[in-house]
Amino acid sequence: MGLSRRELIACGAAGMLCGQRAAPASILRPEDFGASGDGTTNDTSAFQRLAGELNRRGGGTVVLGMGRTYVVGAQSFGPRGWEAQPILELERLTGPLTIIGSGARLLAQPGLRFGTFDRQSGKPVHHPLPYFGQGDAASAYLGMIVVRDCRGSVHIRDLELDGNMGQLRIGGGFGDTGWQIPATGLLLIGNRADEIVDHVHTHDHAQDGAMFIGAPERQARGTVRGLVSRSNGRQGLSVTSGRGYDLKDCEFSHNARSLVKSAPAAGVDVEAETAPIDDINFNRCRFIDNGGCGFVADSGDSRNIRFTDCLFVGTKNWSAWPNKPGCRFAGCTFVGSVVHAFPDRDPRRAAQFTRCTFTDDPKLSPTRKVYTGSGPIVNLALSENVLFDHCTFRLVGAGLLPWSWKATYRGCTMSQRSAKVATPKGRYLGRTTISAPVDLYGSMIEGTVILNGRRIPTRGVGVPAW
């Protein structure tokens, strides 16, 4: 069969020459290996054969059927429990890999087990956690698409990865907390060349929507555009090593909010495990209504994570937890409290917020709920050199202005409705206006501060200059 017009255009965009009626030998389709793509037949074996051919060739182009649904996922029972069978696992490719989804969907087979189950009866078994026992755990799949240790460029586009979590058989928990068992949509591991992920929708996976485990020695960059990762059991995206990722117009929302909830339950979790993490950019991305933080970076050797024009909405947890050096936020909006912004004696390492807005306005929340913890919209405690540069703090509910000590506020506007006393203590530069009951004891007023209509003298408030 010939390729559709959309597939021909997609191939042309990928730099491939496609014939009118027959695909060139460099283009492979799941149907060539026995896939039905009818939304009912399990196509796992066909994808395994497709992966085998790609691995044999060292790369190539895959074109999925336009708008088709491929049911995938299978398990075998053995000494280690219910083991997941590979689906589309590609590794050590030396040439380029292109996967053109054509709007198709990979759908997890209903009834796959996930969790711990009694080996005799097959019924869910619930062990006290932490639990790391052998023989009764079930993994739905390692990843629907796994690309590992490749030297050629990787390009994945226009595809839906549906983990079908509502139709899985959920067993007991495993690991330190929750269900720390593989079942991720897109898994990129140790690739050396460019990685491009373009308009992939990954959702309802029992673990993560996507996971990036970058090669420390990689000099190329990862470009992620229009990735939408929603309603997964743990994270929208986990980054556990690597450098050089640019994410644009992406969304990481509603994760750890349904059947499976596993910590850290974040929209995005940056957590260096096997190697350092450095140089990640988020532009026009959204982090909304996750079970944990919208964004968290709190463990491992991670640094230099930048956000521009992003939206963070915390409905039941912190909107952001940026506790690593070099975190930068420009033009971002935070609905709900921020916690643990990284402080440091060196201002170049401390967290910086420029032209950002902080609010507890429920109109900006999809659930009309906004999480403010114990009250402060920014909850810092230790906050040396954390910078708020021309930021707006607008508290219209029960939220309070920041709780800080030795933060720097330059040219900010602050207001709160609550009658409780807030404590935005720090160094004040430029012109700042505050409309709220506040305790500024210990602050350094070096610029102009208008507090409830009155100017505060330029001085240390109650203490000598720092």
- What is the mean pLDDT of the segment spanning 58-75? 97
d(CA 293, CA 332): 16
- What is the mean pLDDT of the segment spanning 240-258? 97
Domain ranges in the chain? 1-216
pLDDT digits (tens, 9 = 90+) for 142-177: 999 999 999 999 999 999 999 999 999 999 999 999
In the numeric block, which tokens belong to residue 242?
A: 């690597």
pTM, whole model, 2 decimals?
A: 0.93
d(CA 143, CA 154): 16
The pLDDT of residue 463 is 83
d(CA 455, CA 412): 15
Provide the β-strand partners of residue 404. 381, 424
pLDDT digits (tens, 9 = 90+) for 360-412: 999 999 999 999 999 999 999 789 999 999 999 999 999 999 999 999 999 99
Signed CA dihedral, 176, 181, 185, 188: sign only: positive
- Residue 423 CB: number of other CB atoms within 10 A? 19
The pLDDT of residue 447 is 97
Residue-by-residue DSSP string for 196-231: EEEEEEEE--SS-SEEEE--TT--S-EEEES-EEES
- Residue 394 CB: number of other CB atoms within 10 A? 18
Q: Is residue 61 within 8 Å of residue 100, measured between CB atoms? A: yes
The pLDDT of residue 464 is 81
Q: How many CA atoms lie within 13 A of 371 on its CB side?
A: 21
| Residue indicated by tokens 């990129």 | 188
